[in-house]
A and B are shown apart, each in its own frame.
Chain A
């Protein structure tokens, strides 16, 4: 898996290098640049810091310092189905932490981590703006309201089943071609 990751990172870095040209060489562009990298690649690979630092003429640790200060940036690739569990105030008083624990237990990873097969990752977020249906979890782009610990299992199963179905239909398509 590390080979895959490395090959992926190489591709990301060359893409980053080419897109940096769109930015002004100014310190104030630092956060927008980091946002651009994360938006296109879903995380900030460690090697990107050096490239950005060279481009802006600042130190690498400066770039790293800024990136780690803000909650938005992540430093490892998320899963194909990123799970965000809301721990905003409304979700907290309705037991959001229990939901988070259930996802962690079910997937055997902690918040901030990605499963080995890179299918799922778990993140905690603060208020996704639908407190009225708290507690809330977001899987991919879909918001699931009124979450309960017992729904965790079925949601994960659903994602896995959908994937299997897709793979099957893909295999079918290929065999008919």
Chain B
């Protein structure tokens, strides 16, 4: 290795930047059409690979030359596969097309790419201001977001480091390497950034502790374990813009004086593993990782460790245990990992989003960052908003936006004219909030005050058809399963909680159960070592607090008001509206539970019925004869004729 060169990191960086600019320029100045296809997991799941293939085939068939550019996810998962077509020769601006399946892809190749007709009836909008067609930023789902972490997601090719650099990537690193490490920590401290892994611990404070920790060879770990069963933003960031996370890790390493780093990412996220591994290799090749980064005396390298899928391994000490080759069981803190972590080395652990926020802060300054969000929680929050909303997907909003704005204005509200019932925030550690809390601003402290928490950033919106007792049962089933078993209260307590909740959903609840749930929850909170046990009862406690009437209905009336708990719900067919001779429901029933009555209408055999609700969907709307009721006794008995002719 050559000694540190005399040229400054910025000079080194400029050389790489020039190369990136040249490549970008030749791409931008292409006169041939460009087709950008979103290829993160959500896009691929919706069929982006087939879409890409359809474009390739259509281009080849028509002998068109056009560039296909694979990009990440822009967060609008409801509209996947998303395609942006830029055909400069047509005179139109770049246009975004939602739900571009192969047929639509072939059609667009013919009309827009070949003939210059954008087929306006199929567009969502233009991606740039123009005076011909509406711009996507006219829609709230686009213009009410503020993108800091996800600013480049969906615009760049995650497999091409030059794409990131051309957008200004790694400039913050080059600048920072010329400054003393302490100045970077100061900047992060004054930005007020709080950890996005859930707890909201001030990142600058953590870095100060790590920088001050004695001991050789400190270590940085990026926590991409993302164990919440309903959140996927960390994965999407790694799949759409891995370099921003890598840059954050290098900056963290420089600031605290670390030499090595590990990205701890779930093995169940194969695409994220692949892309972040590739990003690290590319950064190494350009001298952004390895020895003497950008010609400075700073050495730093990153390894990838694949987590094996245990929710508790998101907890810092358990995560370290699992890297060391043990069962992921949390340890008592202190000592905190910043004092004594992996193999006894001082270890600093930050979440993916926290690290991805570092380079924007260093590039634009702490004051800029403080200008976004609230006093106590500056910056943005990323939520994966799913469940019963019109436009589910990933949303990045400034902290302080209210739940109402997020759910109704940005995500389009509740579909099918249903009513909002509750929103579950923070996954298995979080809580359910009812309508009265819709005006709660989204920030670390307000959510905790309301009884939920930022947690993982999972947000599930539920309409009137959701049963809160069942949702609590669902989360308890998850945490009970994921409890590592170290603490008695967590191991056995969650098991009992689950048993009681199961009892309720099966109509076997007892009057004393509510109080039992409450005391047991408190005991688990008090008697557990790590955050898993301390927060596991939250879904139960908040739903008890806000939806007590539902619990009571389950216990006293054996009734599930939302008709979700299957043991308490029955299906029957309204003989007044059922049409003679119609067999729609019979065809879809998976258990042959529907029979023909003596009046040649249909009835449901309650013994065979598994309550899947398919008949309800299949019944033609003009009859709308299938009813769902709770408690069971409400379903009228319909006699099954003795000899139902069976076709077999």
Which residues in A have some Cβ–Cβ distance to B below 8 Å?
Answer: 26-32, 34-35, 65-66, 69-73, 87-90, 92-95, 98, 101-102, 105-106, 125-134, 136, 143, 145, 148-150, 152-153
Q: A93-B387, A129-B41 are in contact. List 19 more A-B contacts (CB 8 A).
A: A27-B325, A31-B306, A32-B305, A72-B267, A72-B268, A89-B230, A93-B471, A95-B613, A98-B611, A98-B612, A101-B610, A127-B232, A130-B80, A132-B42, A132-B392, A132-B393, A143-B44, A149-B612, A150-B618
Q: Is the CB of B588 within 8 A of A150?
A: yes
Cα A40 to Cα B236 with chains together (Å): 26
B536-577 vs A, CB cutoff 8 Å, 1 = contact: the mask equals 000000000000000000000000000000000000000000
Q: Is the CB of A90 within 8 A of B387?
A: yes
CB<8 Å pairs between A and B, sample of 10: A70-B328, A88-B229, A129-B45, A130-B45, A130-B46, A131-B230, A131-B232, A132-B80, A132-B392, A150-B588
Q: Is the CB of B462 within 8 A of A133?
A: no
Cα A15 to Cα B103 with chains together (Å): 45
Q: B129 at the A/B interface (Cβ < 8 Å)?
A: no
Cα A7 to Cα B96 with chains together (Å): 54
Q: B448 at the A/B interface (Cβ < 8 Å)?
A: no
Q: B77 at the A/B interface (Cβ < 8 Å)?
A: yes
Which of B267, B478, B588 is A126 in contact with, Cβ under 8 Å?
B478
Q: Which residue of B lies closest to A92 (CB)?
A: B474
* Interface positions of B from 289 to 327, Cβ below 8 Å from A: 305-306, 308-310, 322-327
CB distance from A115 to the nearest CB of B (A): 18
CB distance from B648 to the nearest CB of A (A): 16
Number of cross-chain contacts by CB at 8 Å? 142
For B310, list chain A residues within 8 Å (CB): 69-71
For A150, list chain B residues within 8 Å (CB): 588, 590, 614, 618
Q: Is the CB of A136 within 8 A of B306?
A: no
Q: Which residue of B lies closest to A136 (CB)?
A: B45
Q: B195 at the A/B interface (Cβ < 8 Å)?
A: no
B265-289 vs A, CB cutoff 8 Å, 1 = contact: the mask equals 0011100000000000000000000
For A149, list chain B residues within 8 Å (CB): 588, 590, 612, 614
Residue of B268, B458, B462 with most chain A CB atoms under a 10 A cut-off: B268
Q: Is the CB of B325 within 8 A of A31?
A: yes
CB distance from B274 to the nearest CB of A (A): 13
B446-468 vs A, CB cutoff 8 Å, 1 = contact: the mask equals 00000000000010101000100
Which residues in B have some Cβ–Cβ distance to A below 8 Å?
Answer: 41-42, 44-46, 77-78, 80, 228-232, 235-236, 267-269, 305-306, 308-310, 322-328, 384, 386-388, 392-393, 424, 427, 458, 460, 462, 466, 471, 474-475, 478, 484, 588, 590-591, 610-614, 617-618
For B42, list chain A residues within 8 Å (CB): 129-130, 132
Cα A136 to Cα B80 with chains together (Å): 15
Q: Is the CB of A66 within 8 A of B325?
A: yes
When A35-B267, A72-B309, A90-B230 are in contact, do A129 and B324 touch as well, CB less than 8 Å?
Answer: no
Q: Is the CB of A131 within 8 A of B392?
A: yes
For B324, list chain A residues within 8 Å (CB): 27-28
Q: Which residue of A lies closest to B485 (CB)?
A: A69
CB distance from B166 to the nearest CB of A (A): 28
Q: Which residue of A lies closest to B461 (CB)?
A: A93
**A-B pairs, 5 with minimum CB distance:** A89-B230, A126-B229, A70-B308, A132-B77, A131-B386
Cα A27 to Cα B324 with chains together (Å): 7
Cα A34 to Cα B427 with chains together (Å): 29
For A89, list chain B residues within 8 Å (CB): 228-230, 386-387, 424, 427, 458, 460, 474-475
Q: Is the CB of B460 within 8 A of A65?
A: no
Q: Which residue of B lies closest to A90 (CB)?
A: B386
For A30, list chain B residues within 8 Å (CB): 325
Residue of B327, B388, B612 with most chain A CB atoms under a 10 A cut-off: B612
For A131, list chain B residues within 8 Å (CB): 77, 230, 232, 384, 386-387, 392
Q: Which residue of A lies closest to B427 (CB)?
A: A89
Q: Is the CB of A129 within 8 A of B235?
A: yes
Cα A14 to Cα B416 with chains together (Å): 58
Q: Is the CB of B229 within 8 A of A127?
A: yes
CB distance from B38 to the nearest CB of A (A): 12
Cα A136 to Cα B617 with chains together (Å): 18
Cα A65 to Cα B305 with chains together (Å): 20
Residue of B46, B309, B386 with most chain A CB atoms under a 10 A cut-off: B386
CB distance from B175 to the nearest CB of A (A): 34
Cα A32 to Cα B474 with chains together (Å): 31
When A128-B41, A132-B42 are in contact, do A95 and B612 touch as well, CB less than 8 Å?
Answer: yes
Q: Which residue of B lies closest to A34 (CB)?
A: B308
For A27, list chain B residues within 8 Å (CB): 324-326
For A95, list chain B residues within 8 Å (CB): 612-613
For A31, list chain B residues within 8 Å (CB): 306, 308, 322, 325
Cα A69 to Cα B328 with chains together (Å): 8
Q: Is the CB of A132 within 8 A of B229?
A: no
Q: Is the CB of A32 within 8 A of B306?
A: yes
Cα A129 to Cα B368 with chains together (Å): 32
For B393, list chain A residues within 8 Å (CB): 132
Q: Which residue of B lies closest to A71 (CB)?
A: B309
Q: Is the CB of B462 within 8 A of A93?
A: yes
Which of B45, B232, B388 is A133 in contact with, Cβ under 8 Å?
B45
Q: Is the CB of A93 within 8 A of B326?
A: no
